[in-house]
Amino acid sequence: MSEIIINGRKIGEKYPPFIIVEIGINHNGSFKKAIRMVDDAYEAGAECVKFQDHVIDDEMIPEAKNVIPGNANESIWNIMEKATLSNQEIIDLKKYVESKGMLYLSTPFSRASADRLNKLGVKAFKIGSGECNNYPLVSHIASFGKPIILSTGMNDIKSVAKAVKILRKSKVKYVLMQCTSIYPTPYEKVNLGAISDLKEAFPDAVIGLSDHSLGIYTCLGAVSLGASVFEKHFTSNKKWDGPDVAISIDALELKQLIEGTAVIHTALGGKKKILIEEQPTIDFAYACVVTIKKIKIGDILTKDNIWVKRPGTGEIKAVEYDKLLGKKVKTNINKNTQLKWSDIR
């Protein structure tokens, strides 16, 4: 099984699920809100929070002022401009996250933001779906030699393969995130089956799910399909204004996501066999062969004088019942007595 190590944390199917809490730009440019969300994510049990890093003029041309995302009513330029933190705020935010023992991640959307994050000393890079086929930027980020988590929304296996080729050439460990770039994503469009497609096409990759559907249900389902990394947008208050608040989970849901994915992961694996720990239940739940009439020496055992009843503490279990029919007994046996092999001729 493939695995990746980020800041000492081993990630892969053999290890506990890794949850990326995507605060993104839900702070809407407010450093105070960003800190509040870090605190709430921490209290819910998060080990990693992620933001977005935007250097507007290196990321977009002014034409972007005329492009309005499907889940917004203003241009992408204006949205990002309002939600951009200052360089010092980004530095302070990373320090604060790490002071709480959490991993700080951020998604760069341009070469300048990637350079800033690398200079800042991030332990890994998250590349968004919109940049999955931005091969020049993928190549630039890969040149830093740090682990990369790559979302694959709006891309097929063929286009993902080109990005993977760059990552392999740069010899960086990587995670591929199944993602559908619809906000919110209808459940029937989440396409959890793509997790298997990615595993088959890229066996050296760790596979995850970056989910934009409502709630945590699809992430829970993805655990059993082999997903190891899970990303969900997060907010402290669903009444706040913010670009992705409408599709975000809150602290209670985050706590449930962390606990739920861990429980399901723990329950995976194993074989169909009888466990030693099941013996106390076997003792009362199994049925054994018993007499339903008083039996005398030499009597033949038939359906009229023996049957199967609880508890399961007897010597001859119900599975042996048919073998006893037609046999003779060599002792007197009272009614409602568990039979023993020594009773049989």
Domains and CATH numbers, the chain: 11-267 (3.20.20.70), 276-343 (3.90.1210.10)
> How far apart are alpha carbons 116 and 127 in whole angstroms?
15
Please list, in sequence order, all residues whose beta carbon lies within 8 angstroms of the beta carbon of residue 134, skipping any fewer than 6 positions away. Answer: none
Alpha-helical segments (H) within the chain: 31-43, 56-59, 76-82, 87-99, 111-120, 135-142, 157-169, 194-201, 217-223, 251-267, 279-285, 321-324
pLDDT band of residue 46 (cuts 50, 70, 90) is very high
Amino acid 71: pLDDT: 74
Burial class (CB in 10 A: 0-12, 13-18, 19+), 159: middle
The token pair at 244 is 């992705």
Q: What would the two tokens of residue 153 be?
A: 């929304």
pLDDT at 1: 82
pLDDT of residue 325 exceeding 80: yes
- Give tens-digit pLDDT for 132-159: 999 999 999 999 999 999 999 999 999 9
Q: Residue 73's pLDDT is what?
A: 84
* pLDDT value at residue 200: 98
Residue 70: pLDDT band (50, 70, 90) is confident
CA-CA-CA-CA torsion sign (140, 143, 9, 205) = positive
In three-state secondary structure terms, 180 is coil
Residue 145 contacts by C-beta under 8 Å, 6 or more apart in sequence? Answer: 170, 171, 172
- Start-to-end C-alpha separation, the chain: 56
